Every structure is written in C-alpha cells, then in structure tokens.
Structure 1
C-alpha cells in the first residue's frame, strides 16, 4: 500500500473538467430565469456600496446570507454531490456561513470607513457579477456553463469578499470563504481548468487590503 503522502489531489477527484463544468450547464438550464433575480441581487449589493446608507450593510449581508444558503442547497447538495462525495460537507460549510452572515446583518455593523475606499470592493463585486459569467464564452464554452453569482459558489464567494472588505467584517466571517477559495483554486488547477487563480487572487487582495486598513486604524 502506497504511503498517504504519495497521493495528490488529482488522485481523489472522481470527475473531469468536462463533467465539472457540465454540472453548471445543467444547473443553469434548470434554474433559468432565476438568473435575473440573482443579477438584481448583485446590483443591489453594488448599490449598497456606492451609496452606503444607514441600513446598507443590513441589506447587503442579508442578501449574501440568502445567497450562501441557496448555493449550499441548490449547488452543493443538489448538483455537486452527484460527482463529489465531499459536497455535503461543503453544503454544511456554506450553510454555516449563511447563518454567520445573517447574524452580521442583524448585528448592523458600523458604516464603512474611508481607509479602504470603494474602488477595490466594488471592483471585486463587479468581477463576481460581470466577470465570472464571461469566463465560459471567453474560454470557448457555452454560455450555459457560466458561473453566476448567487447560483455558483465561486462568484458568490468573491462577492462576499467585497462586502467583508467594504464593511470591515470581523475576521471569523472570513474563514469559510478563504477555505473555499483554497479548495476551489486547487480543484480547478488539478482539472487544468482556465483561470484557477482567479478566486484565490481575489481572496488575497481582499485580505491584504483589510489587513492594511486595520493597521491604519490601529496607528491612529
């Protein structure tokens, strides 16, 4: 029997890149036109950032809580579980994050401060909402295979990083999104899928900016 350290992630993947992206196509076809509602939710999040009024954070984290819960049920438990035995655990993780986001919404965190600014969080949010759906056609795949915010996990997590950064969310809220970023990036790399670095790069950028903002606040 081979030693456990001789195995790589590819030895545990039970599906190909074709199968992985095919599940998004089946999910998108089954849920259309729910994508219009998802797009509207994403635009609402951008609006909350561009005009951060008193209850903007309450709205943003409430919307994200619903999105994480939906992805946990519709994607991880409903589709990904068909090809990955670890998907039920991912569903649990996304469900826990949904609860944490709902708690943060009710808690009504303080309005965003000016150290970080709006450009980086809004750019990450725009990537989640507009950039991810374009990856499929840009890589020669059908638009039905597009990863859409509030339906697919990666753009949903990217949008969450934007909100966590903008509203200076407590660090425990970052743990599950960071874990998923690492897991997703590693999976896509082993599948030789295009742009496996995209979500991990968004995570690193958000963490770096949040850390910089925290240090500036402490130095005052």
Structure 2
C-alpha cells in the first residue's frame, strides 16, 4: 500500500500534453472553416443578449443546445475518448445539457437573458473571454493557432461561454442548466493542471467569477447587500 504514496497525479494521465494538443490540431483541421461560423454565431449571441434579450431567448438556447450536442459527439466521443477512456462516459452529459437547453428554451420558453447589474456584467466578461480570450491562449503559449480552442468547436470555450450566458439568464429551469458546464470546467482545469499547462487557470477562473456572481445575486435577492 505504501507504493501508492509514490504516485503523483500526472502518473494517472493516459496521454501526454503533446498528444492532447495534437488532438485539437486534428479536430480544427477536420472541421475548418466551421470555426468561422461558430465564432460568428458567438458574436451574434452577444449582440442579441445585449440588444434583444426578451425576443431572442429561444434562438439563443437552441443554438447552445445544438453546439453542446455537436461537441459531445464530434469532439468528446470521436476524439477525446480515443486518448481518455473516461470521456466516453462524459460525452452523454453533453447531450443531456443540449436536451436541457432545448427544453428550457425553445420548448417551454423558460429562459430570458435580461439579467443586468454586477452578475450580468460578469456574465458578459466570461462570455467575451470564451469567444476571444480562449482562442488566443494557444498562440500566446507558443502552440500556434492550429491548436486554438474555439467556441462551438471545443468544449472549454463553449462551457465557459454557457456559464456566462446563464449568468445573464432568468428562469425556473436555470438551476438544471448549471451543473454540467460547472463540472466540465472543473474537470478540464484539473486535467490541464495535472499536465502542467499554464492555462489551467482559465476554466477555474470562470468558475470563481460565476460563483461570485451567483452569491452576489442571492444576497441582493434577499435584500441584504454587503456593507462597504
């Protein structure tokens, strides 16, 4: 039993950082130029949330639902599961999130993306990072654009963007939509940290900001804002 104490977290990884980022290179090459369309869709989402939040909720939720299901199949199941057997059990969660988004938005019209205030601004900040900041991490770390993680193509920016959008939303089914993006960001951050990747801070920072926004919203709703 004492031998287990000699193991480090990275000893349990089934792949190297090179294999991990090569997976993104192959995925991006196979889907190009779909990245242009998903990035444009992300920008349109931001514009709709900013200027037409009441009338665009169904389309926003439907777009996210399609992207979650697509990423669960194209990336998590068809690529990530090849180098990480656990991903085969994670892929269905992406389909579940897609179904929940479809049920909450287009089916029951149960979401409105009109939350503003501090929580709303944090939501916009997280959303902006997912769309613009996340793809820049690859070239900033010397890996080149070919391994960039793009919204609607890779899971991290899509999950982070979903967190940002949900901070801007109101609805009875909202609590059902949060756990899967939260868990993915948590697992992804742990994986990146175990690989020794500097960008492990990104999904965890999104979680911290989202948690702070949720706590602030709860405090405000209870009518007891913190004193200065």
Please indicate, yes or no, whether the TM-score normalized by the shorter chain is above 0.5: yes
Determine the structure 2 residue equivalent to 1:190.
194
Consecutive unaligned residues of structure 2, counting only runs of 5 or more, are: none
What is the aligned length? 220
Q: What SS does structure 1 have at the residue aligned with 2:153?
A: coil
Alignment of 1:130-141 (within 5 A): 130-141=132-143
How far off its partner does 1:2 sit? Answer: 5.7
Determine the structure 2 residue equivalent to 1:74.
74
Is the contact between residue 136 and residue 143 of structure 1 (CA under 8 Å) also seen in structure 2? yes
Aligned CA RMSD, in angstroms, stands at 1.9
Please give the per-residue CA displacement for 1:31-77, whole angstroms capped at 9, x wherever unaligned: 00011111111012111221134222222211111111011001001
Please give the per-residue CA displacement for 1:141-182, whole angstroms capped at 9, x wherever unaligned: 121000111111100001000111001352221111111111
Is the contact between residue 136 and residue 145 of structure 1 (CA under 8 Å) also seen in structure 2? yes
Please give the per-residue CA displacement for 1:108-141, whole angstroms capped at 9, x wherever unaligned: 2245233336432222111111111111111011
Tell me the TM-score normalized by structure 2.
0.89
Determine the structure 2 residue equivalent to 1:208.
212
How far off its partner does 1:9 sit? Answer: 3.5
Is the contact between residue 113 and residue 165 of structure 2 (CA under 8 Å) also seen in structure 1? no
How far off its partner does 1:11 sit? Answer: 3.0
Task: Tell which deviates more after alignment, 120-129 or 150-159.
Answer: 120-129
Q: Distance in 1 between matches of 2:69 and 2:4?
A: 34
Is the contact between residue 151 and residue 157 of structure 2 (CA under 8 Å) also seen in structure 1? yes
Tell me the TM-score normalized by structure 1.
0.92
How far off its partner does 1:8 sit? Answer: 4.8
Determine the structure 1 residue equivalent to 2:158.
156
